[in-house]
Amino acid sequence: MTSLHKTLILLFLFSALLPLYPFESEDLLPLDILNGDNIEHLYSEGEFQKYTLYINEASEEELIDFPLFTKKEALLILKWREGRHLSSERDLKVIGISDDVIFTSLPYLSFRKPLNYSINQTLRYYYRGTETIDSPKAYSKSELQIDNVQAGFALLSNSTSLTTGRLNYTYYLSQSYDKHLKQLTLGKYRLAIGQGLAYAPGSMFSKSSDPLQARSSYKKPVRLHTSPHKAQSLEGAAAIFSINNNEFIPFHSNTQLNATISDGKTSTIYPYTFPNDNRHNSLSERVDGMAWRYICRSNEIGAYFSYNRFGREFVDPNYSKKYTTLGSFYSLDFNLAKVFGEYAHIDNQPGFVGGISWGERKFQQILIYRSYAEHLPTWHGNPFASKSKFNNEKGYYYGIKAQPHRLWSINLFFDISRYPFPRYFELMPTTRTEQFLLLSHKRASDTFRLKFHHREYDKAITYEGESTIFRVNKLTTTLDWTNQINRHFRNRCGIDYISSVTREIDEFKDGLLLYNNFIYRSKRLETITQISVYRLGLNHYTYEYTLDNWQETKSYNGNDIYAYQIVKVKFTKLTLQAKVAHTFRKKSTNCFIQLLLDI
């Protein structure tokens, strides 16, 4: 470590600890100087000494209840505020407030509401036992919020220094308003419109154990893009104008994407960052558009239009360099039933997703149909689909969420989809079916769950030197038990059995995963410890906690023991977090260290 790095670390620690020093504001004037005529109206001494009246924002009731104003004086202030603001004590004299009242009340008055602000700083460093050229090693994120203004900047580097190596970044500035202009956003953002067919906040979709979450429901049409890990954001400006029940959302973007270029043409666009140098920011994209929403209670209808332009032609002639996006969407609430859907015409390719959900809390159902054209562009969309890439697909989804008894609940869904044209490496049209069942039994401090997840799909497999389509059946059976020991401790243990059968070639694979997850949470300390023992002849995916309390996908394969430990120590303004993950037989270690500063 160079002397420069040491100096920067010391400066950061000093700046992080400085806000922890308890500076105190000046005391208020003592009560004995108050006007004697008003003392009998005072609140308790301790309560009034903390009292501050924001005179330009106080309601009529608050002004009248203020113990140092009479009702007549309060009404004089209200009348003055009908046309202007009170800027100083001079204005109080002009409207007829006596000098004595002004003198005694000034310590408890404010003519301008103070700014509510917060500063959040995140620094994260990665260490991986098996390094790759694309592995991020340093991450920094700074966020500032002042009342209704939010600004942020984040950097992700493949070097331990944030000033060298390849950098990915995101930045944003957004302000909310109360009147016709509700929001103005500059920088990187994502749109969330309708069911997410053309524009959605995420770049991937995955089914959940809650079958009703298959329906997209976006309340905020413009969202800040806070992670530099994901590359397919919009970069420019977006606004939300509100007139009565109508919202108008103009948006503009001019950004760089990560793509593979072949003979000067685009072959693949990547949704995540840190491809190699040749793919980094190699494709420009410009988007100009407008969306409209009409919102009445819990009902919503709307439409959108955009003109999309890429800086290069595509290798696949079915994708255009320039095209238009036109769509409409709806979400209608009929008491016990909700009808929703979206239709889009993108680059002359149609796409539709729609459905209905109905029922009460103890028995709810949902039915969804989707139909996406073969070459439907999916750069910014994220609707319901069987997999992350939702073009070339037709299918039905049916889900049930039931609670037959206060201690029992049942979640299940059925999904069947068809890909009319070759998809990925498949050589012909394929189909896919999926069934899911979750039984839960909850008691005061214990939850028992039994889960079955079956998938049947066509897959291209190389057999005897030839790639052929085979039908694969995969079943995952999970049994777990969660025990809430007390309000600080929680323990979960479980077992997964996975089996895969390909009957045409008499191939059978299976595996077993056992895990135990222990969580301790208190005001100052949080620890998450998990150990997994597995013997797997095929890939198996589960979820594990991140430092940000999210759950990310973890892939298991082979015979090994995997463990990770998360420790979070919270101080007044500073949080120190660390995660260590180790795979024993592979002797692979990943470390993540994160500092959070909140001012």
Whole-number Å distance between alpha carbons of 151 and 188: 11
Cα 474 to Cα 33, 293, 432, 503, 504: the distances in Å are 81, 42, 12, 12, 14
Whole-number Å distance between alpha carbons of 514 and 518: 14
Number of helices and strands in the chain (H, E): 6, 28
Over the Cα atoms of the chain, what is R_g? 30
pLDDT at 397: 97
b or e along 482-512 (b: 16 or more beta carbons within 10 Å of the residue's beta carbon)? bebeeeeebebebebebebebeeeeeeeebe
Whole-number Å distance between alpha carbons of 179 and 190: 23
Q: Kindly report, residue by residue over 433-486, the tens digit of the pLDDT.
A: 999 999 999 998 999 999 999 999 988 777 777 778 889 999 999 999 999 999
pLDDT at 243: 92
E strand spans, 103-148: 109-110, 117-128, 138-146
Helix (H, G, I), strand (E, B) or coil at 183: strand
The closest alpha carbon to 92, from 66, 122, 124, 128, belongs to: 66
Q: Kindly report, residue by residue over 171-193, the tens digit of the pLDDT.
A: 999 998 878 899 999 999 999 99
Whole-number Å distance between alpha carbons of 205 and 220: 18
Whole-number Å distance between alpha carbons of 337 and 366: 10
b or e along 222-255 (b: 16 or more beta carbons within 10 Å of the residue's beta carbon)? bbbbbbbbbbbbbbbbbbbbbeeeebebebebeb
Whole-number Å distance between alpha carbons of 477 and 499: 9
Q: Kindly report, residue by residue over 95-152, the tens digit of the pLDDT.
A: 888 888 888 888 888 887 776 788 888 888 877 765 555 566 788 899 998 888 999 9
Element (H, E) at 246: strand 246-262
Contacts (Cβ under 8 Å, ≥6 apart) of 48: 31, 42, 67, 108
Contacts (Cβ under 8 Å, ≥6 apart) of 595: 12, 16, 121, 122, 123, 124, 574, 575, 576, 577
In the DSSP assignment, the letter for residue 465 is T
Element (H, E) at 80: helix 71-81
Residue type, 458: D
pLDDT at 5: 47
Residue type, 485: I
Contacts (Cβ under 8 Å, ≥6 apart) of 266: 259, 260, 283, 310, 312, 313, 314, 315
Whole-number Å distance between alpha carbons of 355 and 135: 41
Residue 573's beta-bridge partner residues?
A: none
pLDDT at 37: 38
The closest alpha carbon to 556, from 545, 543, 540, 544, belongs to: 540
Angle 419-425-426 (CA atoms, 0-180°, nearest 5)? 45
Cα 262 to Cα 170, 310, 376, 424: the distances in Å are 27, 15, 21, 19
Whole-number Å distance between alpha carbons of 225 and 172: 7
| Other C-beta atoms lying within 10 Å of the C-beta of residue 200 | 21
pLDDT at 32: 32
pLDDT at 46: 41
Residue corresponding to tokens 């997850």: 517
Whole-number Å distance between alpha carbons of 431 and 12: 56
Angle 348-353-355 (CA atoms, 0-180°, nearest 5)? 155
Whole-number Å distance between alpha carbons of 468 and 505: 11
pLDDT at 412: 96
In the DSSP assignment, the letter for residue 133 is T
Whole-number Å distance between alpha carbons of 36 and 41: 10
One digit per residue, pLDDT tens: the chain, 599 residues? 455 444 434 434 433 333 433 333 333 333 333 333 333 334 343 444 456 888 888 888 888 888 888 888 888 888 888 878 888 888 888 888 888 888 888 888 888 777 678 888 888 887 776 555 556 678 889 999 888 899 999 988 776 655 555 678 899 999 988 788 999 999 999 999 999 999 998 755 568 888 988 887 777 899 999 888 777 789 999 999 999 899 999 999 999 888 888 888 998 888 776 545 677 778 899 999 999 999 998 899 999 999 999 999 999 999 999 999 999 999 999 988 999 999 999 999 999 999 999 998 899 999 999 999 999 998 899 899 988 778 899 999 999 999 999 999 999 999 999 999 887 666 778 899 999 999 999 998 999 999 999 999 988 777 777 778 889 999 999 999 999 999 899 999 999 999 999 988 889 999 999 999 999 999 899 999 999 999 999 999 998 998 887 888 889 999 999 999 999 999 988 999 999 999 999 888 888 888 888 76
Cα 226 to Cα 154, 190, 221, 476: the distances in Å are 7, 10, 15, 35
